[in-house]
Structure 1
Amino acid sequence: MSSFDTIDTLNADTDIASEKRVLVRVDLNSPISDGAVQDNRRFERHAQTVQELSDAGYHVILLAHQGRPGDDDFVSLEGHASVLETYLDCDVKFIDDTYGSRVGESIGVTEPGDVLLLENTRMCEDELPEADPETKADTTFVQSLSGHVDAYVNDAYSAAHRSHASLVGFPSVLPSYAGRVMETEYEANTAIAKKEFDGTVIMAVGGTKATDVIDVIDNLGESVDSFLLGGVVGELFLRASDIPVGFDISSETDRYDTQWERNSEVINSILTDHADQITLANDLAYDDAGERAEVAVDSITDKSVSFMDIGTATAELYADMIRDADAAFVKGALGVFENKDFAVGTVQVLEAIAETECFSVVGGGDTSRAIEMYDMNKTDFDHVSIAGGAYIRALTGEPLAGIEALESETV
């Protein structure tokens, strides 16, 4: 269990009774299409925390970010207010500023149960870049805004690996608590290292960002019994096993070779130290004139096609191993599941997890999106994470600045 306080503690704190103003950091960062924000699971998840606080009679003041300065998705949060409102039993008011007299006046006229969303935190120059909590706490943004509220709640687990003002500055100057998303994400994503399991622990690892997941494998060697590999990382491990895959076949792409150069030493070390824990694909799938075709790994003599999924035999093997497991974790897709012809590996692994009684966590935006795309029920999984970078940090044992700020002694 974590050592930070939660909303339960906030509700029990007689110095911060209902009707007080609570500043809540959420993560509503979402895809932007034609200038409009697109709905995603983050709105629904954070709405649970917001609704709970609103129902309890707090004045709920929201902070969130969208994109980065200079990027196409760096836009105002006005549209986010409308999307969030669809998940709440109350209106979401919006002000196009983050601190100052206008914000103070807007906060001052809120009523118990009201929800007010402030402008994109990254439009405030004090938010970026990353710095230590003391430095961020001393910014005009934090000092000014904290004077208008009574407590701070951080619900933005998916941004908790960032040391930005809205994430680490306020716990130094306000009584601070974890929201429900922060609480549940933290407990689920650290379970693989902290939870005791009676049987086998399986982790399916894939995706295109091999560097991230290789670090996960290296860190969790003592906690996971079997790693089931697919995607780019699976090909790189096959390459280390003298199978002629895991390299770019065109000078126009750079998906494999750079990551191989960066990680080959660690991959070989993992294969030496944890060989009995690594399960590699025994067949791979590729596109043959618009149709799915498969080839046995041991019959590959050179890489002349792009592999887009683990093969059917491998998918069945992985699914069987998961059905016998006591816990199953997923990080990264095992194939290009957006194309149904190459969703076999990802879907069969997820369906096997859903069919069993094992403890399960599915992490990473792409993989969790497959649950919705292929009509699986997310309630069949113990936890479907909305975090990306923070999930990786948790699995690799790296500290999360937002968590550390909540765990530190506050005022």
Structure 2
Amino acid sequence: MSSFRTLDDLPPEQRVLARLDLNSPVEDGVVQDNRRFSRHAETVADLAGAGHRVALMAHQGRPGRDTFVSLEQHADILAEHAGVDVDFVADTFGEEALAAVRDLDAGEVLLLENTRMTDDELPEKEPEEHASSEFVETLAPEFDAYVNDAYSAAHRKHASLVGFPLKLPSYAGRVMATEYEANTAIAEREFDADVTMVVGGTKATDVIGVMEALDDKVDRFLLGGVAGELFLRAAGYPVGEDVETDLFDEQWAANEETIRSVLDERREQVTLASDLAYEDGNGDRAEVAVDEIAEKEHAFLDIGSETVAAYEPAIRDSEAVFVKGALGVFEDERFSHGTVGVLEAIAGTDCFSVVGGGDTSRAIEMYGLSEDDFSHVSIAGGAYIRALTGEPLPAVELLIRSAEADADT
């Protein structure tokens, strides 16, 4: 399989332009620290420690949203994690940015302003178009090499992700390399025993596509969340419809045919919840067996205890477990049992395990689990879905193209 170059292949004393993904929650104008800073800090520290002159690009939010803010706060948070000073310039590729880039000394790090504050960044275009944009044409000549560490944005065809690899020798950062290896394992690796996938979350359309794509790679799907309810609906239970929510009916209409075909053709692979949890009139957690539900009268917020107990041995008997999506509204401790119970079961085994999606990985931190108990905890959402379904990731393809092009010269 063709591959990309990594930081270990980077020649010494380079002027490096590196793309990170520091997109973070913003509360009342304050950027929140999160796992992305600590992950990307390794790449930043390695580049600075090797004596490169380093300029960083990243995005935050989208125009028109409350999260669309400057990266000034990001520089301070990143510096704390990386253990190196990170200067900031409130410019992306104008004269102020270029002057700051040219002023860099060996081992110094500079964060450029939010890439999405430039008009050239956001339109989804082919790499060749982005490579000829003013943004890329202006910035690329200032550097010897480009490093892409933004795996979680690798499914996007944005200028900072796909334009620069056509102009500069390109390399994968530490996050890019580890995420790519772990997230493609389900397609690339051969496992001798059972492979299990835990499927949940609120975006049923995504995970149903994953189930369809991976039916020959996965021996068992354990369902919860919105997708789990929709599959129960297809199996004839009076759930998976909107009551106090707007999550189900639209996704059912879009996916009913696929759900029914998956259930008909691969019923023995799909394990459905046997009970569900809801909030009773006293505000407490209550559970009901799906066989006893005559009509959906309230929102179901988690899988039930019997389901968790049934899922645990299936996980223990697996050689590999992949997680996509939470099994309940784990942010509310009353409805965290499903998500946390399954994660604890995985943590207690020595199987190869990948937990994907920002929300699910947040549960690990929230409930005091250790990332070390999992083979990999992904910070990617859309890119993780693409990797699982075998769809190409444009930014990864460009890294591979760059390596191949330089090998041919």
Q: How does 1:179-258 map to 2 (within 5 A)?
A: 179-250=173-244, 253-258=245-250
> What percent identity do the matched residue pairs reach?
63
Shifted more, 260-269 versus 81-90: the winner is 81-90
Look up the SS of the partner of 1:152 in the other structure.
strand
State the AA in 2 paired with 1:29: N
Which amino acid in structure 2 is aligned with residue 140 of structure 1? E
Q: Residue type of the partner of 1:111?
A: D
Q: Which residue in 2 is equivalent to 1:78?
A: 72
> SS in structure 2 opposite 1:147?
helix
Q: Residue 278 of structure 1 is aligned with which of 270, 274, 278?
A: 270
Q: Does 1:137 align with 2:126?
A: no
Residue identity matched to 2:232: L
Residue 268 of structure 1 is matched in structure 2 by 260
Q: Which residue of 1 aligns with 2:56?
A: 62
C-alpha distance in 1 between matches for 2:84 and 2:350: 37
In the TM superposition, 1:1-400 aligns within 5 A as 3-10=3-10, 16-18=11-13, 20-250=14-244, 253-288=245-280, 289-400=282-393
Q: Please give the per-residue CA displacement for 1:113-134, whole angstroms capped at 9, x wherever unaligned.
A: 1000000000011112110000
How far does residue 376 in structure 1 lie from its aligned partner after superposition? 0.4
**SS of match in other structure, 2:23:** coil
SS at match of 1:330: strand
Unaligned runs of 5+ in 1: 11-15
Give the whole-Å Cα distance in 1 for the aligned partners of 2:398 and 2:276.
45
Distance 1:283 1:87 in 2: 43
Counterpart amino acid of residue 220 in structure 1: L
How far, CA to CA, are the matches of 1:219 and 1:210 in structure 2? 14
Instruction: Give the AA of the match of 1:47.
Output: A
Q: Distance in 1 between matches of 2:308 and 2:83?
A: 43
Q: What RMSD in Å do the two structures reach over aligned CA positions?
A: 1.0
Please give the alpha-carbon distance, in whole angstroms, between the structure 2 residues aligned to 1:2 and 1:360.
Answer: 24
Between 1:20-29 and 1:85-94, the stretch displaced more is 85-94
Check whether the contact 2:12–2:50 (CA below 8 A) recurs between aligned residues: no
Write the deviation string for residues 65-97 of structure 1: whole angstroms up to 9, x where unpaired.
Answer: 000111111011011001111112221001111
Structure 2 portions without partners, runs of 5+: none
Offset at residue 392 of structure 1 (A): 0.9
Contact preservation (8 Å) 2:128, 2:163: yes
User: How far did residue 101 of structure 1 move?
Assistant: 2.4
Q: CA deviation at 1:17?
A: 2.2
Q: Report runs of 4+ in structure 1 exceeding 2 Å deviation.
A: none
Instruction: Compute the displacement of 1:2 (Å).
Output: 5.3
CA offsets per residue over residues 167-189 of structure 1, 9 Å max, x none? 00001010000001000000101
CA shift, 1:99, in A, is: 0.8
Q: Say which SS state the counterpart of residue 49 (structure 1) adopts.
A: helix
- Match of 1:86, SS state, is helix
- The TM-score, its normalising length taken from structure 1, stands at 0.96
Deviation, 1:102, is: 2.0
Between the aligned partners of 1:238 and 1:101, the Cα distance in structure 2 is 59
